[in-house]
Structure 1
């Protein structure tokens, strides 16, 4: 039962990582849209959200790395 919980927990982290990747890609596309259409407010908003998701992704990767180290 414990192994199943760990497996599900890891899948949650994988899906969260996929969500963060998609969010960063959308942010980059939004920044591009803002620059091409001279909508600099969009650039600032998408830059802030992209930075937030990159920060969250780094935190998640550090947590996964620590979890793997503790497993061994």
Structure 2
């Protein structure tokens, strides 16, 4: 049974660019941004948030902290439009 969760999990990390929206990739390539690494980290947080078992899921507060950390790491000093 193929779900979005299983599909994403099977694609990480090697095929992260294959499952991403192409418009995101174009923006990343245009500014010389390490888009694959950033997307991999964001998708990993997403996977941990939607584990089948509620006990294994990442808490919303922890997910928020991780996503903010990723944003600060990759967008620090960079304006986005």
The normalised TM-score by structure 1 is 0.43
More helix by share: 1
Higher RCO by CA contacts (8 Å cutoff, separation 6 or greater): 1
